[in-house]
Amino acid sequence: MASPTSGNGKQPAPKQPTTFYFAYGSNLHLKQMKRRCPHSRYIGRARLVNYRWQINERGYANVVKTDGYWVDGLVYEIDAADEAKLDINEGVSKNAYAKKTMRAQLFRAPGNLYRRPTSWIVDRGGPAKILRQAKEGTPKQPEQPQHWVQEVLVYISLNFTTDSPPKEEYINRINFGLADARALGMEDDYISNCIRPFVPAPARPQRTLGAANAEKGKQPARGLKRNASPRTGEKSPARPGRAPKRPDNQTPQQTTTSRPRSQTVPRRPGATSQQNPPQQNPPPLPPRPVPPLPPRPIPRYRDAPIIVVEEYHFSCRSI
């Protein structure tokens, strides 16, 4: 059987093998993933069961085997060139991380983001902006059912597994990655319960790439000075065709000159100044009338009948 050929008579180039890469640390940030793996494509969210998220003693993210826990992340499709760059960034040759395939529970991305190049998503404002525009244009689509993926590449540190604080420069990178992961569907409960004990939240919420660029374009320019012409003693001319407005009642400007005390004009005797008339004392007020005294009460006597009882004593003597 002849092999298929293209229209120009040449055989199509064989498809390069790709790998599903599970990101759970700073590679959650799509802008960083675009720089490290320019050929990567976004597949969706995934979950590692019976693993726990941590910051190890090196100050970077890691997953450790722990029953009853899980680790959420994003899945990218990468080629061999991107995988080689990841090996360098993750320090595989220095035994900082080891490559391991794990079984992950995959949640496929929506149709407008599934298998989209990471550079395409970043150049159009980030995942939050793309999903927001999709919701405004079309009704919400149900999420694709979950399924199992056997070959998911995970970079795991086997030599450094002690819980430790993160590096200062790593905090911002993790927070930017969490902002993109939250826009793509990562649950807030997982972030607050599994990641925030290690990585503090930023002072203000991290903005997505599209919101940051939009606000940056609205900010006014600072430090600009207007070029003003040097001032002269001449009066500024009025605009051509317009005469300066004058008030209706114009009064001549009164100028006052100060005279020395020796040149003051003496006043004539008996003349009074109209400006400062002599002050006169007000007339006295009339005396207030004294109210009359109330009349004295007149004693009154009531007539009462008097009953006089006379007693007579009779004695009978015998003769």
Q: How far apart are CA 34 and CA 41, in angstroms?
A: 9
Residue type, 260: P
Q: How far apart are CA 56 and CA 50, in angstroms?
A: 18
Q: How far apart are CA 58 and CA 169, in angstroms?
A: 13
Residue 23 marked as a ligand binder:
yes
Residue whose structure tokens are 């990468």: 78
Residue 26 marked as a ligand binder:
yes
Q: Which of 144, 151, 8, 137 is nearest to 78 (CA)?
A: 151
Residue 203 backbone dihedrals phi, psi, to 5 degrees: -60, -40
Residue 24 marked as a ligand binder:
yes
> Contact 209/122 with Cβ under 8 angstroms?
yes
Name the maximum alpha-carbon separation found in the chain.
197
Residue 21 marked as a ligand binder:
yes
Bridging pattern class, strands 116-117 and 147-156: unpaired
Angle, to 10 degrees, between the axis of helix 209-218 and the axis of helix 127-137? 90
Q: Which residues are catalytic?
A: 90
Binding residues for substrate: 21-26
Binding residues: 21-26
